[in-house]
Structure 1
Amino acid sequence: MSEISAEQVAHLASLARIDLSPEEITSLTRELGQIVDAVAKVTEVAGPDVPATSHPVPLTNVFREDVIVPGLTVEQALSGAPDREGDWFRVPPILDEE
């Protein structure tokens, strides 16, 4: 296991202005050691012939092509409107203004 000391964890906590109890420092010392060991193992395996990746599975865009299609005509859009004024929906005023 990596040599992460409780003093290093306490120092990092003070730099981050995090107040840790002695139990939390002990727990974080162990956990950070495990993290450093895991990163070291990956570094050993990832040699110069292994390309860097940001995701283990190739990602592709799942969106459809942006194709322009004809929209509704004014008459189609307003056909179900309860009230209209010319080519506009007519709605009650909300700000006490006409």
Structure 2
Amino acid sequence: GGGLTENLPRVMPEGTRAIIDSTRWQRPPVFDWLQEKGNVAEDEMYRTFNCGIGMVLCVGETDVERSLALLAEQGESASVIGRIETGEGEQVVIG
């Protein structure tokens, strides 16, 4: 468990943080429904659910295009949803 905000830090080096752009993927309507009906805060949605992200890969900046191509060759639909940067504080920032 842990959704995006708790699982992603498990693979990140200390002293780094993930900056995630929530406009980079289509959030399935079921998550909006769950949030509304359950009166669930946005941060709790990302902590509890994946909100439409099935898998996250962290690759070096120079490997992004090749990684996307390899995934496409295997029939996977992939996109860049953020970046890892040096920083302290909140390890996953979703905006």
- TM-score tier by shorter-chain length is under 0.3
Q: Please, what TM-score do these two structures have when normalized by structure 2?
A: 0.22
Which structure has more strand as a fraction of its residues?
2
Query: So what's the TM-score if we normalise by structure 1?
Result: 0.22
Which structure has greater helix proportion?
2
Larger RCO, structure (CA 8 Å, separation 6 or more): 2
